[in-house]
Amino acid sequence: MRIKQIVLLPVILFAGTVNASQTTQPRVLVAYFSMQDGNTGDVARAIVDASGGDIYRIMVAEPYPADDKVRKELLTQQIEQNILPPLAGQAPQIAEYDIIFLGSPVWANHLSQPVKSFLAKYDLSGKTVIPFVSHSGGGRGKTFSDVAEMCDGCIVDTDGWSSWGGGRQRGIVKWVQKKLNAHQ
């Protein structure tokens, strides 16, 4: 009987360790805006694949006009006057997540207006927020520091992901894994 207990003890302890490591896996939400679910959407999907997190596409309440000229005028006005467009629907319960990967296209060197709306609308305090952006050659600009400025009480990781265009994201699996490990 006594021998049985001695043999079983390490097994029980090991099982406990495995169980504990499973329960500390951070819960991940990947929230992003992308005009036509294009470049930033590609990065978001790569992060979801690498993290197993949930995905949420930020949408504006009034869709942007399909006509290029009209849309450009509206975007210019929103950017110049820093108008935060109302958002459609409701994001998943933020309280249920530990890490929010937050994605935006770069607009005039800053976060897109809908992502600013998202930061204004939802309380992300206490959450680890990791920005990712896509651009067309101008780089990430001030986007990461925008998140840090707008996200009250968040733990913003300004070592974000920046992508020129969309498509395949070389190295993103390693990057995501590094972020998840850092959170354990």
Ligand X SMILES: Cc1cc2nc3c(=O)[nH]c(=O)nc-3n(C[C@H](O)[C@H](O)[C@H](O)COP(=O)(O)O)c2cc1C
Give the binding site for ligand X (CB under 6 A): 34-35, 38-41, 75, 105-109, 134-138, 141, 165
d(CA 58, CA 176): 21
**Nearer residue to ligand X within complex by CB, 94 or 108:** 108
- How remote is the C-alpha of 13 from its chain's centroid? 36
**Nearer residue to ligand X within complex by CB, 135 or 179:** 135
In this structure, the number of other CB atoms found within 10 A of the CB of residue 49 comes to 15
> What are the phi and psi torsion angles at 104 (to 5°)?
-150, 150
Contact, 28 vs 51, CB < 8 A? Answer: yes
**Nearer residue to ligand X within complex by CB, 114 or 180:** 114
SS3 64: coil
Contact, 62 vs 39, CB < 8 A? Answer: no
**Nearer residue to ligand X within complex by CB, 26 or 141:** 141
Two structure tokens written together for 102: 């937050």
Cβ at position 52, least distance to ligand X in Å: 22
Cβ at position 89, least distance to ligand X in Å: 19
Cβ at position 38, least distance to ligand X in Å: 3
Please provide the size of the chain in residues: 184
**Nearer residue to ligand X within complex by CB, 146 or 180:** 146
Alpha helices in 97-164 (DSSP H): 113-121, 143-150
Cβ at position 55, least distance to ligand X in Å: 14
SS3 57: strand
Cβ at position 115, least distance to ligand X in Å: 11
Cβ at position 103, least distance to ligand X in Å: 8
**Nearer residue to ligand X within complex by CB, 29 or 115:** 115
